[in-house]
Homo-oligomer: A and B are copies of this chain.
Amino acid sequence: MTDTTDEPRPGMSRRRLLGWTGAGAALAGVGAVAGYSAADTDPPPDPSGGVVPFRDVHQAGIITPAQDRLHFVALDLTTVDRAAIVSLLRRWTTAAERMTAGAEAAPGGAVNRNPEAPPSDTGEALGLPASALTITFGIGGSLLDKLGIPRPPELADLPPFQLDTLDPALSGGDLCLQACANDPQVAVHAVRNLVRTGFGTTSVRWSQLGFGRTSSTSAAQQTHRNLFGFKDGTNNLKAEDTALLEEQVWVPPAQGPAWLTGGTYLVARRIRMHVETWDRTSLAEQESLTGRTKGEGAPIGQAREFDIPNLGPGSPIAEDAHIRLASAQNNGGARILRRGYNFVDGSDGLGHLNAGLFFLAFMQDPRRQFVPMQSQLARNDKMMEYIRHTGSAVFAVPPGLREGAYWGQSLLEG
């Protein structure tokens, strides 16, 4: 399946698309999985191996059923030349659209016709299916600063939180790319080819791999477990919560700026988990700190995972339980759409695994949602004895692209 051809044919598998040339061509209908828009009331299809449409009302990779693997990269501009940046964003969009459809990053791909030129695709995903790849694009406040564009107030840097131990080398970034797929090789291939395309205009600031998605983003998905061994994200906002998404996730026209209407904000936090200390804690204490049982994941005092927690008078859930502190009731009704992943980044040089949770959450306004919630948790959550936030970033995530548009166009030409 390594032949190249420039003529796409309906139903052809991804690697027959190697030579496919249409940057702006409609991709709906390519691949096995049909698209869905935010207005659909049916649950989105499980895209385990298929193609997730690249162009839609919102960017893919937010309410798309969370894939199992992540490669996230934050990049910095190495130039402020607008033409160079626009050129890169155009090329990125073309390459990303191709790769999410299962094609190589550029026509001709890894097996280009001119052997004297470097291959236009790095090749490690040749022969692999699209694997539900999504690539989600975000813009950091520092990019706007560099280009002299006013930041929306929602894109303010996060305030320092109690117990933060942030590493600047794992924080911030002018741009981010979140690649999710059901095969890590496909996610890594996507990031690597976009990083490569960016040479001369951007450089990698930090990068994070993740596995074992925590936080389902669709009611059709089972809840996975974090590295504390607990189901994580049971009460997450989900793709099916259309009204709540409008209220909590998508930027409404009245909020502005115009280039972000229908977009959202992404808060990324690298959370190191001191699993060794946690593992010496009794089951009773673990469950009390969490507010849920370990096996079933039921709220304390209830029987099943999706039972509603009793947070009212006489509640059996501790005052400082994580689910109470993080609850909408305790945060003025604020909710977020979480999309985190577990990670193990080798060892820490002190005899321990360098393990944790890479927290990703989408929301309408970090100042109203993440900041008060995290302030509460940092002050009162006993779970903070077992974790440290070591990386942090906020990005504005523009809305989905109409046919022919490129990432950031509404910002740079708006």
Contacts and interface: CB of A to CB of B under 8 A. Distances in A.
Interface of A: 2-3, 69, 71, 73, 110-112, 114-119, 121-127, 169, 183-185, 188, 191-192, 195-196, 199, 203-209, 211-212, 222, 224-230, 275-276, 279-284, 286-287, 293-296, 342, 344-347, 349, 351-355
A207 B111 contact: no
B346 A207 contact: yes
A110 to B, nearest CB: 5
B295 A229 contact: no
Given A118-B281, A184-B211, A279-B118, A204 B111 contact: no
A69 to B, nearest CB: 8
Contact of A199 (B226, B276, B295): B276
A294 B119 contact: yes
Contacts of A114: 283
A284 B113 CA distance: 10
A283 B117 contact: yes
A206 B295 contact: no
A351 B112 contact: no
Nearest to A195: B353
B296 A212 contact: no
Given A126-B225, A195-B353, A276-B196, A282 B116 contact: yes
A212 B124 contact: yes
A279 B118 CA distance: 6
A183 B73 CA distance: 23
B345 A227 contact: no
Given A71-B344, A110-B294, A126-B225, A353 B283 contact: no
A344 B110 contact: no
Given A185-B224, A204-B352, A207-B344, 7 more contacts: A110-B294, A116-B282, A118-B279, A122-B228, A127-B225, A192-B355, A209-B209
A183 B118 CA distance: 34
Contacts of A125: 225
A82 to B, nearest CB: 21
A165 B259 CA distance: 48
Contacts of A110: 229, 283, 294-295
Contacts of A209: 209, 344-346
The list of the 10 closest CB pairs from A to B, nearest first, reads A123-B229, A203-B351, A2-B295, A185-B212, A115-B284, A111-B295, A184-B211, A207-B347, A204-B347, A115-B283
Given A110-B229, A282-B115, A353 B192 contact: yes
A122 B346 contact: no
Contact of A225 (B118, B124, B195, B293): B124
A224 to B, nearest CB: 8
17 contacts: A2-B296, A69-B211, A110-B283, A110-B294, A110-B295, A115-B283, A118-B282, A121-B229, A184-B211, A185-B342, A188-B211, A191-B353, A192-B355, A196-B276, A203-B351, A207-B354, A209-B344
Contacts of A183: 212
